[in-house]
Amino acid sequence: MTQRPGETQLPHLFEPVTWAGFALKNRVKYGACCVSNYNTRDGFITERELARTKVIAGTGCGIITNQGAYPDPLGEGKAYFSQIALFDDKFIPQFEKIAGYIHDGGGIAIQQILHAGRYGGIDLGYCIQPSVVPQTLPHFRPPREITKEQIRETIEQHAEAAKRAIKAGFDGTEITSFMGYLMATFNSKFTNRRTDEYGGSTVNRGRFMRELIYAVKAAMGGAHPLVVRLNGAELMDRWGGNDEDECYALIQQAAECGADMISVTVGWQEAPDSSIGRDVPPGHWNRLAVRAKQLLPDTPIAFGTRLPDPIMADSCIAEGQFDFWEVCRPLLADPDLVKKAAEARLDEVKRCIGSLNCLSRLFRDLPYTCTMNPALGHEVEPEYQITPAAVRKKIMIVGAGPAGMECAIAATRRGHHVIVYERGERIGGSLLGYAAHDLAHKDDLASVAEYYRVMATKLGIEVRLGTVVDPKMMRSVLHQFDAAVVAAGARVDLQALPAPEEEGLLVEAMDVALGKRQPGRRVVMLGGGKIGLTLAESLKSSGTEVVVVERERRIAGDVMPTWKWRHSAWIDELEIPTMTGCRVTRIAKDGVTVIDAKGRETTLPADMVIAASPARGNQELFAELEWSIDELHGCGDAMVPRGLTQAIHDGYRLGCRL
């Protein structure tokens, strides 16, 4: 078969290999890192899930791991609101479909069996783990100590679930101690304080894992491989968890028991440090895979934690750091990532930006979605698919931010002729300002704007930069368009703030963020939401004194739930004072006067006051365009200012139905 250009450029990643007797087309393993929450409350798979799985099956990965199914009828192992189950033969027909899809796509099908242990029992009033060590996150259930009889039952349940997976047509299974699930709670000193043969030494703590491996392998039979996911680092050692040496001793035990692949993961849910967020640089954890490979040169090692880049993955494989690139979130953001890599079209990849929108939703018991991929989870709905337009239209889009560009790309792919008008000099809108000041990893957010630039070029979308759409301009294009989309973003509602006593004292956050205004040396930031915080953190890092004033009781109110702690931590680390529950009463040359909930007045000295909120949509064009165009629509922050995820989703959905 002829090699595609990217396969030549990334020869290690795309090298066909044999693993456990199975011929694989490449060294990419789709990781079961997320449970979708698309299924029924009693563990059955829905049409929504099946449609999603067809997309996963088509990603082009050599190995595809289906999301974790809990193995026990009581649901002690159930971690997520709508997790799939495999504790009974009644579930087998649906798993047959999934295995079939994966095989049709040319992948090897692995079913993960996930007993969540400490994070399980979501429908119960408790969870089970080796010892009663209370939760440190309020989301989870109080623990009960698992008895020896329950240990035997649980192992049997895993084995039976594995047998069902094989019966359904899966090629192998995976067991997981990722993040603090049941196996991890036995392995870790943090949660295992038993004094019997399952607790104490590393060998004793690993006993449950070893018995599990033996039982599952015996249940499956020799022809079916078992993958074991284990922490290379728990990040819990500060509080009595395993150090890395102990983690690797356990990894070695798993290999010696016959694990056919070790998937190395990082961190517990309750760990103090980031492991997968945008604030962790790509490649940061690769050393953990290297250590596993050095320890176990003959055992295949899969790795992918915060390693979103196929080029880096190819290099790692070439250098012998690991054997398989395990990837999940990047394939949520762009299911065609592997194909695009194979076709040398990486510039067309929508990157996972590590917003953790997926996990924020899971821990609110919602189906997961993706900031970057609006169709994720809606594969079963025609309304979310790009289909040829019944009537080809000429469409003007006002604004080249994420909402406008998503709309433009979707509409163009459907066959419409689209022209985008942008008052700024670059594609990206306010995202450019936000990206420039992101302390986490500027390149991730900047990549979104770059993706739009590339796609506009490749799809032939005309983007007229430096063009203001106003009544005069509209008269010049009258009757040239069938539809207009206002995606003009939002601005700060200055009318909601006291008028500054001197001109130039009050500036808009985005003007500073985009470099149109130089910040002062002593700044008061009005608004402790994501825009205000991001800019405040960046300014403080550059030496500006900043105080954040927020009207609400708490900062970061509009920030993604799994990212709030990050801003709070930066605010602490940078020692940025925050005044919450405060209303601004005066903006003068000597500073800003605020009044708190108890009526106490404070004047904060400042040579610049930056307004980051409240935001209001730029909607003036609706009135201007109403009687000059056939169809008029709006999307993104112009309608309701909510941020990047909603802008992308709004724009895409509108583009799909214009």
Closest to other proteins by CB, 274 or 534: 274
Residue 116 near other proteins by CB under 8 A: no
Please enumerate in sequence order all residues whose Cβ is within 8 A of that of 457, keeping only pairs 6 or more positions apart, or say none: none
Which of positions 361-420 make contact with other proteins (CB under 8 A)?
Answer: 363
Closest to other proteins by CB, 135 or 252: 135
Closest to other proteins by CB, 132 or 468: 132
The interface mask with other proteins, positions 500-539, x = CB under 8 A, is ----------------------------------------
Considering the complex, what minimum distance in angstroms separates the CB of residue 568 from other proteins? 6
Rounded Cα gap, residues 609 and 616, in angstroms: 19
The interface mask with other proteins, positions 140-159, x = CB under 8 A, is -xx-----------------
Region of 270-278, 368-376, 505-513, 619-627 interacting with other proteins (CB under 8 A): 270-278
CA R_g for the chain: 27
Q: Which of 64, 113, 133, 184 binds other proteins (CB under 8 A)?
A: 133
Closest to other proteins by CB, 125 or 599: 125
Q: Which of 1, 42, 125, 460 binds other proteins (CB under 8 A)?
A: 125
Evaluate whether 562 touches 359 at the Cβ level (below 8 Å): yes
Considering the complex, what minimum distance in angstroms separates the CB of residue 379 from other proteins? 24
Residue 561 near other proteins by CB under 8 A: yes
Which sign does the torsion angle of CA 227, 232, 235, 240 carry? Answer: positive
Beta-strand ranges (E) seen in 541-612 are 545-549, 578-579, 583-588, 591-595, 601-604, 608-611
Rounded Cα gap, residues 442 and 437, in angstroms: 7
Q: Which of 15, 17, 103, 135 binds other proteins (CB under 8 A)?
A: 135
Residue 551 near other proteins by CB under 8 A: no
Evaluate whether 398 touches 485 at the Cβ level (below 8 Å): yes
Region of 50-58, 355-363, 378-386, 585-593 interacting with other proteins (CB under 8 A): 355-363
DSSP β-bridge partners for residue 303: 264, 325
Rounded Cα gap, residues 33 and 544, in angstroms: 40
Closest to other proteins by CB, 34 or 484: 34
Instruction: Mark 131-155 as b/e (b = at least 16 C-beta within 10 Å).
Output: bebebeeeebbebbebeeeebeebb
Residue 81 near other proteins by CB under 8 A: no
Closest to other proteins by CB, 37 or 274: 274
> How are strands ordered across the β-sheet holding 545-549?
506-508, 608-611, 522-526, 545-549, 578-579
Joined together, the tokens standing for residue 155 give 């192992």
DSSP β-bridge partners for residue 547: 524
Region of 16-24, 127-135, 296-304, 587-595 interacting with other proteins (CB under 8 A): 127-135
Which sign does the torsion angle of CA 658, 335, 172, 121 carry? Answer: negative
Evaluate whether 273 touches 279 at the Cβ level (below 8 Å): no
Q: Which of 41, 139, 589, 657 binds other proteins (CB under 8 A)?
A: 139
Q: What is the Cα 250 distance to its own chain's centre?
A: 29
Rounded Cα gap, residues 186 and 221, in angstroms: 25
Residue 239 near other proteins by CB under 8 A: yes
Which of positions 160-219 make contact with other proteins (CB under 8 A)?
Answer: 179
Q: Which of 256, 365, 462, 572 binds other proteins (CB under 8 A)?
A: 572
Considering the complex, what minimum distance in angstroms separates the CB of residue 190 from other proteins? 10
- # binding residues, other proteins (CB under 8 A): 37
Q: Which residues bind other proteins (CB under 8 A)?
A: 125, 132-139, 141-142, 179, 238-240, 267, 269-277, 356, 359, 363, 554, 561-562, 564-566, 568-569, 572
